[in-house]
Amino acid sequence: MFTSITVCLDMFGCPNRCKHCWIGHSPNGNLTSDDLKFVAEKFRPFTNCLTVYDWYREPDYKDNYEELWDLCNSLSDTHREHFELISFWRIVRDEKYVKWLSSLELKKAQITLFGGQEKTDYYTGRKNAYNEIVEAMEILVENKISPRIQVFVNKDTVDELPLIENLIQRLNLENRCKAFGGEFSMFLHSGSCDGENEKLYDIRVTPEDLSKIPPTLIQYTLKYFQKASIEEVFGKTEQTLYEELIKDHSTASYVSKDPVFYVDQEFNVYPNVTSPAPSWLLGNLRTDKIETILENYTESKSAAQHTRLTVPLCNIVVSQGDCKSQRLFSKGDYIDYLLNTYCRK
Ligand code: SF4
């Protein structure tokens, strides 16, 4: 038995194709409520605390989002709050949506920008995304939900940060949120280096890029992450991490008593560690027994889990790392990046 299990089924996918998407791109599905019940029933015997979600890409993407919310609650043992993640695609197309979010007492909602209009449309993978995001922030503020802006920074977007600073000032987000008792927040980071974001490895920020960040955006970011310096947020150079990790003979297990599983539209099951890629596959709910899938998880039989459990980090970094690279990473993101590339070699 697990202390808890969270299972997320990718029922409908996502309207966007973000270039930083750590989950990776795949065709959108169109699964049914019965499919969700089927998935919940499979995991139900293995915990007394099951939580079920109908998405792991875009929340509330399907028109019957209210019905699906109720269904997820009825299949779950936990009383859930709505994530501070919303569908900006829906909020500009469906007047009822923001009222529904308010009825769930959502106080903050995260929105992602990459710079000005052209860069944001390009990196979101959809024309007019920027205009919709700006409109979404207006709708949120009008409905007393504080926007939280997330910005992914790379060498191609770092020069656009003043445009985001101007936008925050132009929309007067800080004062308008304060006026209804909310709090505007924002943060910058470079994101992980898995899924689609791995393709942006070449343009990850290096130390000299950090001096281009406007001070106001640094202040917001330090407050959000509770860090003392922007270097702590963006991490260490790959060279520094390489030098640390070549002395590190440790291995690690990803097995938890409270696992989160991602189930894709084909019913393939993955642990929620990094992008749901073939090397993390645990099995398929339609063709494999759930007992086998869970055993593959607990005994680290997926190729990636097995590798991390049996191959010392020093060997993985020597095989896949770049000892001269100045690209910045958090240690955890760097290990995930190395492991994913090692498993594909
Ligand atoms: S990052 Fe989120 S919004 Fe963007 S494509 Fe991936 S799942 Fe969709």
Q: State the pLDDT at residue 80.
A: 78
Q: Does residue 79 have a pLDDT over 80?
A: no
What's the confidence (pLDDT) of residue 185? Answer: 98
C-alpha 95 to ligand 1 mean position (Å): 22
Can you tell me which atom of ligand 1 is nearest the CA of 196?
6
The pLDDT value given to residue 261: 98
pLDDT at 34 > cutoff 90:
yes
| Confidence band, pLDDT 50/70/90 cuts, at residue 27 | very high
* Distance from the alpha carbon of residue 16 to the mean position of ligand 1, in angstroms: 6
Which of 335, 198, 204, 203 has its CA nearest to residue 277? 198
Residue 177, CB-side half-sphere exposure with 13 Å CA sphere: 20
Q: What's the confidence (pLDDT) of residue 216? A: 97
pLDDT for residue 212 is more than 80: yes
User: How far apart are the C-alpha atoms of 242 and 195, rounded to whole Å?
Assistant: 22
Tens digits of per-residue pLDDT, 250-283? 999 999 999 999 999 999 999 999 999 999 999 9
- What whole-number percentage of the chain has pLDDT above 90? 99
Mean pLDDT for the chain overall: 97
Ligand 1, atom 4, residue with closest C-alpha: 18
Of 26, 57, 152, best ligand 1 pocket probe by most atoms within 8 Å of the beta carbon = 57
* CA angle, residues 160, 217, 169, in degrees to nearest 5: 80
Q: What are phi and psi of 81, to 5 degrees?
A: -95, 155
Q: Give the model confidence (pLDDT) of 150-175 as tens digits.
A: 999 999 999 999 999 999 999 999 99
pLDDT band with cut points at 50, 70 and 90 for residue 339: very high
User: Token match 């052209």: residue?
Assistant: 118
- pTM listed for this prediction: 0.95
- Taking residues 332-344, report their average pLDDT: 97
Query: pLDDT (tens digit, 9 = 90+) per residue, 122-153?
Result: 999 999 999 999 999 999 999 999 999 999 99
Question: Are 10 and 265 contacting, i.e. CB atoms less than 8 angstroms apart?
Answer: yes
- Point out the ligand 1 atom lying closest to the alpha carbon of residue 56: 7
Q: Percent of the chain beyond pLDDT 70?
A: 100
CA-proximal residue: ligand 1, atom 7 (nearest) = 57
Distance, CA of 60 to CA of 281 (rounded, Å): 26
Domains of the chain, earliest start first: 1-80+253-299 (no CATH), 83-233 (3.20.20.70), 235-251+311-345 (no CATH)
**Closest Cα to atom 6, ligand 1: which residue?**
21
pLDDT at 60 over 80: yes
pLDDT for res 39: 98
Helix, strand, coil share (%) of the chain residues, nearest 5: 45, 15, 40
CA nearest ligand 1 atom 1, residue: 21
DSSP string, 83-138: PSB--HHHHTT-HHHHHHHHHTT--EEEEEE-SSHHHHHHHHTSTTHHHHHHHHHH
